[in-house]
């Protein structure tokens, strides 16, 4: 417990300092929080031991991790279960408040354009990310050589390619909204279309995550039962998993939206703002746990509860009341995600080369996948490129997905580092691209 208290104290200080430095440099604060996590993590400063006592392995036990991995050849988690529990709690409140921030009326007004943009971005990003992993992972990394020996249909549903496809799908609504707000373009046709597309993109990304987890579980079960030897993937079982995932998400969303007013009425019986906000967050955690029990990711349940309550007059009060909790927990999440990055693995030549290719494809997939549907929906080339550029940044959801993949053992440290690299670069390059396109004095 003493170690946990010390670790959280250091993480809070480092995350806040990193976020402030990033904000001073006009960069999103999550970049600073991620960087702070990398610096203090077990693979960097947190792994430096001092003395002969309890700190001999470093504050975050980096020396012990390296010794264990060298001895056994097995990858170990870079954080303790308790510390990762804090990060999980932060991811739940992050997605719950993201759901609360969703403007359903605006979403419905531009739903068709947003739907086309979101679908195009998700499909393009997933396919390019997945195929990039299938074709290039065996080339750059010996441990993935087995992918080249598998039929394409089996290789595409392997855990690492699936997660690399999923990681590249989700646009960061928060980063995009901040850019549009600063440029006073939130209410422009392109701005509203970007936000509608980003919301749909996030929802579709979470659905793809749910389906992907089910597919990975199904294929692993098939392998253990000899399915891989027989040379086929049970697409019927996978299809059922996909239908179940979509059905649970859609059913929970519709029920939540329908009974939102009744939930609001029940919550108002408690009078106190703090009690209402606390109970609302409790409901989000209950639904998150239910989704986990159903084989879906917790964060999807949290988002659905936020989406349901976004239709009520309690929305702003819950946001304001939970803001201090968000401010405290969410930087911890991003910092812990940064701590999971093995700097030595990230700096290796194969990771840098593959990461650069993966990142370029992630940018191309979003621009092309979102701009082309925009052209067919009536926007000109400039307007379509603005929408495509606005969909480039990946952020919190991509990091959550990467963290889930690493903690579940689906991703290696190298692949996790590649996902972090893609998130960082797309977050940095998107703002100047979007600002430059909006500086062109032409309507979209």
The pLDDT tens digits for 326-363 are 888 888 888 887 887 777 767 788 889 999 999 999 99
- Please, which pLDDT band fits residue 73 given cuts at 50, 70 and 90? very low
Q: Regarding predicted confidence, which is higher, 170 or 117?
A: 117
pLDDT number for residue 177: 67
pLDDT number for residue 270: 87
**Rounded CA gap, 423 and 392, in Å?**
10
Q: How far is CA 406 from CA 84, 214, 418, in A?
A: 12, 16, 12
- Residue 73: Cβ within 10 Å count: 7
- Please, which pLDDT band fits residue 318 given cuts at 50, 70 and 90? very high
| Model confidence at 70: pLDDT above 60 | no
Domains of the chain: 2-41+78-438 (1.20.1530.20)
Least confident of 51-60, 89-98, 124-133, 377-386: 51-60
- Please, which pLDDT band fits residue 367 given cuts at 50, 70 and 90? very high
Cβ–Cβ under 8 Å, residues 62 and 41: yes
Phi-psi region of 231 (alpha: psi -120 to 50; beta: other; left: phi over 0): left
| 28-32, 150-154, 244-248, 356-360, range with greatest mean pLDDT | 356-360
Q: How far is CA 297 from CA 92, 238, 306, 379, 397, in A?
A: 10, 17, 15, 36, 12
**Rounded CA gap, 112 and 132, in Å?**
30
Task: Quote the pTM value.
Answer: 0.72
| Model confidence at 274: pLDDT above 80 | yes
Average pLDDT estimate for 83-89: 83
Cβ–Cβ under 8 Å, residues 372 and 120: yes
- Please, which pLDDT band fits residue 283 given cuts at 50, 70 and 90? very high
Q: How far is CA 147 from CA 63, 133, 135, 212, 357, in A?
A: 32, 9, 8, 18, 18
pLDDT number for residue 54: 58
**Rounded CA gap, 86 and 63, in Å?**
23
Cβ–Cβ under 8 Å, residues 263 and 283: yes
| Model confidence at 65: pLDDT above 80 | no
> pLDDT > 90: what percent of the chain?
19
Q: Regarding predicted confidence, which is higher, 393 or 235?
A: 393
Instruction: Quote the radius of gyration of the chain (alpha carbons, Å).
Output: 22
């Amino acid at each position: 417990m003493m170690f946990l208290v010390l670790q959280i104290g250091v993480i809070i200080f480092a995350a806040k300092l990193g976020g402030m430095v990033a904000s001073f440099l006009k960069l999103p604060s999550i970049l600073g929080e991620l960087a702070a996590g990398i610096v203090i993590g077990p693979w960097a400063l947190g792994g430096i031991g001092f003395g002969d006592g309890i700190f001999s392995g470093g504050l975050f036990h980096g020396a012990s991790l390296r010794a264990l991995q060298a001895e056994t050849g097995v990858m170990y988690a870079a954080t303790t279960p308790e510390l990762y529990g804090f990060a999980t709690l932060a991811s739940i409140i992050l997605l719950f408040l993201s759901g609360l921030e969703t403007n359903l009326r605006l979403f419905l007004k531009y739903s068709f354009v947003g739907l086309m943009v979101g679908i195009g971005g998700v499909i393009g990003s997933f396919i390019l990310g997945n195929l990039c992993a299938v074709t290039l992972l065996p080339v750059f990394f010996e441990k993935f050589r087995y992918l080249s020996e598998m039929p394409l249909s089996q290789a595409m549903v392997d855990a690492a390619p699936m997660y690399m496809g999923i990681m590249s799908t989700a646009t960061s609504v928060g980063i995009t909204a901040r850019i549009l707000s600063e440029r006073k373009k939130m209410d422009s046709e392109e701005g509203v279309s970007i936000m509608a597309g980003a919301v749909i993109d996030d929802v579709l990304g979470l659905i793809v995550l749910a389906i992907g987890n089910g597919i990975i579980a199904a294929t692993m079960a098939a392998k253990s039962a000899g399915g891989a030897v027989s040379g086929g993937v049970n697409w019927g079982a996978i299809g059922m998993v996909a239908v179940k995932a979509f059905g649970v998400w859609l059913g929970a969303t519709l029920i939540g939206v329908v009974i939102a007013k009744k939930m609001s009425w029940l919550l108002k019986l408690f009078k106190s703002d703090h009690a209402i906000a606390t109970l609302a967050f409790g409901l989000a955690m209950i639904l998150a746990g239910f989704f986990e029990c159903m084989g879906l990711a917790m964060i999807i349940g949290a988002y659905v509860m936020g989406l349901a309550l976004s239709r009520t007059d309690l929305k702003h009060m819950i946001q304001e009341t939970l803001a201090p909790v968000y401010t405290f927990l969410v930087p911890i999440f991003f910092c812990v995600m940064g701590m999971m990055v093995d700097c030595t693995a990230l700096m290796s030549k194969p990771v840098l080369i593959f990461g650069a290719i993966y990142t370029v494809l992630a940018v191309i997939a979003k621009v092309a996948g979102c701009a082309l549907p925009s052209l067919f929906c009536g926007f000109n080339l400039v307007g379509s490129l603005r929408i495509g550029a606005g969909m480039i940044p990946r952020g919190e959801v991509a990091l959550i997905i990467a963290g889930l993949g690493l903690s579940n053992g689906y991703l290696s440290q190298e692949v996790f580092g590649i996902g972090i690299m893609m998130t960082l670069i797309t977050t940095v390059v998107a703002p100047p691209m979007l600002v430059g396109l909006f500086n062109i004095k032409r309507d979209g």
